[in-house]
């Protein structure tokens, strides 16, 4: 699996429209609050041109791409941390995702109501962030109360935990997200165990109309200017247009996008940004007659990557035989790459690189 992505935002910003365009899942779309109550789930194959190129060369019986899970989560409203709207039910759904795609409406439409009666995507970001920060403070306060009791009876680990909690609390009380903190070692483990909402990597999905898509509007520019200052990524998607494209035949989609001047599909753009913010890489295996793509975090040691395939492979890891995608394509096969000295035997300390084609040797 690539990663789990939660599509979140205020009501009526087009989350379900975009979810349907990306996944063809058929979630209900309507211009009223809480059309989505339970999170919709869509699992889609990650577009991968390298996998397609390898398949052309190897001709495997089976090709398995890595996948991406999308969760379309109910609209968040001001006061959600205090139980407004769907309140904590919404917030609990976010805890299960790897990254948050914060969807913002960047087009004006009198037929679609906005919670605040006017359009301002930057304000909407701040509303959602505030609710997530308040929810994290509640999580933190509950955990602190529990650990303080342990500290009073002399629990050794409690002192370190409280130290981390106080640092996090200070940042949240300033109105900043927990993701701005960077811990190492034991502190990092304590921080990760909190599973805070604002510690998750986030990027923005700007839902635009065709006027904004052509650069003729002001809402997208305002969001992009703000995100640029904050060093955050924005994926621009015209939800209604993508919904129309998704209904076309496969061969017609790319041609239609070219006519409109769109580079690649929305899914490709979103995946690319998601992989960047999560710092993910893809490696490939050819076992028996199957060519398969796998996703791991950059800097993953070879045994851990082997463990993604099967726990026995990590436990009995001997070595990893690797050839880069570029070398494989340049010389046409693993055999020729080996003759050229481009097939490398890697030990336990080897960190998997993006595009590696790997054969794991193991014994249990």
Length of the chain: 364
What confidence tens digit (pLDDT) does each residue in 208-238 have?
A: 988 888 777 789 999 999 999 999 999 999 8
Mean of pLDDT over the chain: 85
d(CA 297, CA 315): 19
> Is 27 a residue whose pLDDT tops 50?
no
d(CA 57, CA 97): 35
> Is 272 a residue whose pLDDT tops 50?
yes
Residue 28's pLDDT band, with cuts at 50, 70 and 90, is: very low
Question: Hey, is 297 helix, strand or coil?
Answer: strand
Helix or strand holding residue 284 (H, E): strand 280-287
Percent of the chain with pLDDT over 90: 52
Question: Hey, is 302 helix, strand or coil?
Answer: helix
d(CA 219, CA 222): 5
What confidence tens digit (pLDDT) does each residue in 55-107 have?
A: 999 999 999 999 988 888 766 666 544 554 444 555 666 777 899 999 999 98
Please tell me the predicted confidence (pLDDT) of residue 204. 95
Tokens of 264: 């690649």
For the four alpha carbons of 245, 247, 250 and 251, in that order, the dihedral sign comes to negative
Q: Report CA Rg, the chain.
A: 23
Please tell me the predicted confidence (pLDDT) of residue 104. 93
Please tell me the predicted confidence (pLDDT) of residue 91. 66
Give the helix ranges, DSSP H, for the chain: 15-23, 49-58, 87-94, 121-152, 156-173, 185-192, 210-213, 219-230, 239-246, 250-260, 266-278, 302-309, 311-315, 325-331, 334-339
The residue ranking higher by pLDDT, 354 or 10, is 354
What average pLDDT score do residues 23-48 get? 59
Please tell me the predicted confidence (pLDDT) of residue 155. 84
What average pLDDT score do residues 240-251 get? 79
Please tell me the predicted confidence (pLDDT) of residue 349. 97
Residue for token digits 């909690």?
165
If you write DSSP's letter for every residue of 309-337 in order, what string do you get?
A: H-HHHHHTEEEEEEEEHHHHHHHSSHHHH
What average pLDDT score do residues 200-207 get? 93
Residue for token digits 């020729």?
336
Cβ neighbours for 329, distance < 8 A, ≥ 6 positions apart: 53, 57
Burial class (CB in 10 A: 0-12, 13-18, 19+), 331: middle
Residue 36's pLDDT band, with cuts at 50, 70 and 90, is: very low
């Amino acid at each position: 699996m690539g990663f789990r992505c939660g599509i979140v935002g205020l009501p009526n910003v087009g989350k379900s429209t975009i979810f349907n365009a990306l996944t063809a899942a058929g979630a209900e779309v309507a211009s009223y609050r809480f059309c989505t109550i339970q999170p919709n789930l869509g699992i889609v194959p990650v577009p991968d041109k390298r996998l397609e190129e390898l398949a052309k060369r190897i001709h495997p019986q089976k090709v398995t791409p890595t996948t991406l899970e999308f969760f379309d989560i109910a609209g968040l409203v001001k006061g959600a941390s205090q139980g407004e709207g769907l309140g904590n039910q919404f917030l609990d759904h976010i805890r299960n995702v790897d990254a948050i795609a914060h969807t913002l409406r960047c087009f004006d439409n009198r037929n679609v109501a906005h919670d605040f009666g006017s359009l301002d995507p930057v304000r909407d970001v701040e509303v959602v962030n505030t609710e997530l920060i308040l929810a994290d403070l509640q999580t933190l306060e509950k955990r602190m109360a529990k650990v303080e009791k342990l500290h009073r009876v002399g629990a050794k680990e409690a002192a370190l935990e409280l130290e981390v909690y106080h640092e996090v609390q200070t940042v949240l009380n300033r109105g900043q997200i927990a993701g701005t903190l960077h811990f190492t070692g034991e502190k990092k483990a304590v921080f990760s165990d909190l599973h805070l909402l604002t510690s998750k990597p986030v990027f923005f999905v700007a839902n635009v109309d065709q006027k904004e898509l052509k650069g003729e509007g002001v809402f997208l520019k305002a969001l992009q200017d703000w995100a640029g200052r904050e060093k955050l990524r924005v994926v621009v998607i015209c939800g209604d247009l993508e919904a129309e494209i998704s209904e076309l035949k496969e061969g017609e989609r790319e041609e239609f996008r070219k006519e409109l001047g769109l580079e690649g599909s929305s899914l490709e753009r979103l995946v690319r940004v998601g992989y960047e913010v999560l710092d993910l890489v893809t490696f490939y295996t050819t076992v028996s007659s199957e060519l398969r793509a796998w996703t791991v975090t950059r800097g993953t040691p070879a045994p851990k990557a082997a463990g993604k395939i099967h726990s026995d492979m990590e436990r009995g890891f001997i070595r990893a035989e690797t050839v880069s995608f570029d070398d494989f394509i340049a010389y046409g096969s693993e055999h020729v790459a080996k003759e050229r000295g481009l097939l490398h035997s890697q030990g336990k300390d080897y960190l998997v690189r993006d595009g590696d084609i790997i054969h794991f040797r193991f014994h249990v």
